Amino acid sequence: MNQDEFGFRVRQALNEGAERVDYRTVLRLEQARGRALARQRRAGPATVRLPALQLAAAGAPPVDGSRGAWGWLRGAGWVAPLLALAIGFVAISQWQEELEIKRLAALDFAVLLDEGPLEAYADQVFGVLLQDEQRAER
Amino acid sequence: MATREELSEFLAGVERRAFKQAVFAVRDESHALDIVQDAMLKIAEHYGDRPAAELPPLFTRILQNAIHDFFRRSKVRSTWVTLFSSLNPGDEPDADPLETLEASGDVRTESTESSYEREQIVAIIEEEVARLPARQREAFLLRYWEDLDTAEAAAAMGCSEGSVKTHCSRATHALAKALRERGITL
């Protein structure tokens, strides 16, 4: 008997065995099938995805016609992203300025107390400050 | 896209075989049911919108992965007993033929003598299939039970076609020898 024929006969036996699965197992398999069917993925309506900027520039609603929870933002067209960008720039600039002020204040305070850290003398800004002071004294 | 009816029909057609395959692999009906349920949920959730013709190979792959995942999780949990038993099937308590005979005893009263004998033969064949090394069993079942060709079986197992042929050949010889030793000639 060749391999395929042997395989076929084993297959028949296995099919018979599968048919004799006890009823509890059959029931559980049916339940599992029911749960799976309840969660079957359905193909949604055909929508075309457009890049966000293109959509904003057009100021148009989505292709599927729904405006959704963020529909008002899309309707704002150019204004909303530009406004957000401007606010972002201003905020970053303010934050950087604040950091620089704090850093210089700390450095000044340390110099006043004659406790300036060694790193302060390697600081370019501090070097420029010293040169300015020397020039002023002359 | 597969309709709900098509998916239901497909799952109904494969669930018992899937269950048996999982039982052969993990040697535990409860775990096998969990594996099949997991595979069913995955195919429905992730591939439920695919055409019905694509479902069989996808389900085969998902089921094999679910079985492998079971062993990975078992390993992580250090339940190495399962792995140990699959490597040493001779010591497997579940492989006791008396258990199989006992389990099939319910049907005996309704069966003729010859069908009872056939039932015993089927039980022994299932037992010996379960005793095959995992990869050999996987290849053999995919080729001869799931009726996949070598390329499809290789894709499902994530190996080369040559490996599938080798595993199948070894499985066939091992199974034939084991059955002969138990007085069964197919």
Give yes or no for residue A64 having a pLDDT over 50: no
Chain A residues within an 8 Å CB radius of B45: 36, 39-41
Residue B103 pLDDT > 70 = no
Closest in A9, A21, A36 to B186, CB measured: A9
> CA-CA distance, B83 to B72, in Å (whole number)?
10
B64-92: burial string, b at 16+ Cβ within 10 Å, e else: bbbbeebbeebeeeeeeebeebbeebeeb
Residue A77, phi-psi category: left (phi > 0), alpha (psi -120 to 50), beta (remainder) = left
C-beta separation of B52 from B72 below 8 A: no
Q: Is A49 left (phi over 0), alpha (psi -120 to 50) or beta?
A: beta
Class level of CATH domain B1-86: mainly alpha
Among chain A, residues having any CB pair with chain B shorter than 8 Å are 1, 3-4, 6-11, 13-22, 25-26, 28-29, 32-33, 35-37, 39-43
Dist CA B141 CA A10 (whole Å): 10
Please state which of the ranges A36-40, B90-94, B139-143 shows the lowest mean pLDDT.
B90-94
Partner residue opposite A41 with nearest CB, options B46, B126, B143:
B46
Distance from CA of B126 to the nearest CA of A (A): 7
Q: What is the mean pLDDT of residues B59-80?
A: 82
Nearest to A19 by CA among B3, B54, B57, B20: B20
Torsion angles phi and psi, residue A117, rounded to 5: -65, 155
pLDDT attached to residue A26: 92
Whether residue A11 has pLDDT greater than 80: yes
As for the ipTM of the complex, it is 0.72
pLDDT of res. B112: 62
Mean pLDDT: which of A64-68, A119-123, B71-75, B112-116 is highest? B71-75
Chain mean position to CA B50:
25
pLDDT band of A41, cuts 50, 70, 90: confident
Map residue B145 onto helix, strand or coil: helix
* pLDDT in the model for residue A121: 67
What's the token pair of residue A56?
A: 């904003």
pLDDT category of residue B82 using cuts at 50, 70 and 90: low
What's the gap in Å between the CA of A23 and the closest CA on chain B? 11
DSSP A78: T
CA angle B49, B54, B58 (to 5 degrees): 95
B184/A contact by beta carbon, under 8 A: no
Domain range summary for chain B, segments of one domain joined by +? 1-86
Flag whether pLDDT at A71 surpasses 80: no
Q: Is 80 exceeded by the pLDDT of residue B37?
A: yes
- pTM more than 0.95: no
- Cα A10 to chain centroid, rounded: 53
User: Is there a contact between B7 and B28 (Cβ–Cβ < 8 Å)?
Assistant: no
Interchain CB distance below 8 Å, B45 and A43? no
d(CA B1, CA B51): 4
Q: Is the pLDDT of residue A6 over 50?
A: yes
Q: Are B168 and B143 in contact (CB under 8 A)?
A: yes
Is residue B106 very low, low, confident or very high in pLDDT (cuts 50, 70, 90)?
A: very low
Q: Tell me how many degrees the CA angle A18-A23-A25 measures, rounded to the nearest 5.
A: 70
B19·A29 Cβ contact <8 A = yes
Token couple for B51: 């055409």
Alpha helices in B2-132 (DSSP H): 4-26, 29-47, 55-76, 80-87, 97-103, 105-108, 113-131
Residue in chain A nearest B1 by alpha carbon: A43
Distance CA B167, CA B135 (A): 7
Q: Are B97 and B104 in contact (CB under 8 A)?
A: no
B68 vs A114 pLDDT, higher one = B68
Touching check for B132 and chain A: CB below 8 Å? no
What's the rounded mean pLDDT across residues A31-59? 67
Q: Which of A3, A21, A41 sits opposite B172 (nearest CB)?
A: A3
Look at residue A68 in the predicted model and tell me its pLDDT.
55
